[in-house]
């Protein structure tokens, strides 16, 4: 319970789901934490759950300008960062003919462009050593129908984990990725589907998981704690797949 004592961490998308659970585990392990979100209701709830020592900030994960403001705010509050969990993301599942340019651009902005420029903006305040963990997705590795744009955005993050690991290790910065399978989080309630279609989709996805269930946010958070801690000091450019066996089918 003391693996992150003295560490300062930023978790994007940290006001719900995997991000919020990870923030709680980071705090339990001794870290000082900043989280971001967009929804005023979840932001207020996160402040209540995480306590007054946590820094909770509102921002658009797809806005390059907001990423620069976020880096400045965290730098002013914490001085430096020892760990960063890039977790904010959106998912839309629909066939290729249903996509338009605006929807495509929004997914890429939030899931790939925003994270890229956030990491760029954070470079001056990253400690040496520091750990960056990118939340990707098993969808980048399997051919799941209707996930084309989402999967492409997450495949880009996996690529960044590898290229940045080589580019930044000389600065003492480790970069790794976690690739969750289906997790029981509010993300699946944001797919823009009717309740009936959402249930059918959830049932189909569950049928593809050898473990026979959706994962829990805490199961991903534990992996992120490990990658953020000094226990993983020799883990660089890795993708940790946590999918209940889904990618083995």
Q: At what angle do helices 217-228 and 17-28 cross, to 10 degrees?
A: 50
Report the alpha-carbon distance of residue 149 to residue 165 in Å, rounded.
24
Does the annotation count 150 as an active-site position? Answer: yes
Report yes or no: 149 and 99 within 8 Å, Cβ to Cβ. Answer: yes
Of 116, 150, 188, 204, catalytic = 150
User: CB–CB of 107/153 below 8 Å?
Assistant: yes
Name residue 35's beta-bridge partners: 11, 56
Region of 71 please: left (phi>0), alpha (psi -120 to 50) or beta.
Answer: alpha
The Cα 13–Cα 36 span in angstroms is 5
Alpha helices in the chain (DSSP H): 17-28, 40-50, 64-78, 101-108, 114-122, 148-168, 195-207, 217-228
Contact 201, 93 (CB under 8 A): yes
Q: Cα 184 to chain center, whole Å?
A: 15
- Residues with catalytic roles: 150
């Amino acid at each position: 319970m003391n693996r992150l004592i003295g560490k300062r961490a930023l978790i994007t998308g940290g006001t719900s789901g995997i991000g919020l659970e990870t923030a709680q585990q980071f705090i339990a392990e001794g870290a000082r934490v900043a989280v971001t979100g967009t929804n005023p209701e979840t932001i207020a709830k996160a402040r209540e759950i995480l306590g007054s020592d946590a820094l909770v900030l509102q921002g658009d994960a797809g806005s390059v300008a907001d990423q620069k403001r976020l880096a400045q705010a965290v730098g002013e509050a914490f001085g430096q960062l020892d760990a960063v969990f890039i977790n904010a993301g959106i998912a839309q599942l629909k066939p290729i003919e249903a996509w338009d340019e605006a929807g495509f651009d929004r997914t890429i902005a939030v899931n790939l462009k925003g994270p890229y420029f956030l990491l760029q903006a954070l470079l001056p305040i990253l400690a040496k050593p520091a750990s960056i963990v990118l939340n990707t997705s098993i969808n980048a590795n399997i051919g799941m129908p209707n996930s084309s744009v989402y999967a492409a955005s997450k495949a880009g993050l996996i690529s960044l984990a590898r290229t940045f690991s080589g580019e930044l290790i000389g600065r003492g910065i480790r970069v790794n990725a976690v690739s969750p399978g289906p997790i029981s989080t509010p993300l699946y309630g944001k797919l823009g589907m009717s309740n009936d279609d959402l249930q059918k989709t959830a049932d189909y996805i569950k049928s593809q998981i050898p473990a026979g269930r959706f994962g829990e946010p805490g199961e991903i958070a534990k992996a992120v704690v490990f990658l953020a801690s000094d226990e993983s000091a020799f883990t660089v450019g890795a993708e940790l797949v946590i999918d209940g066996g889904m990618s083995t089918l």
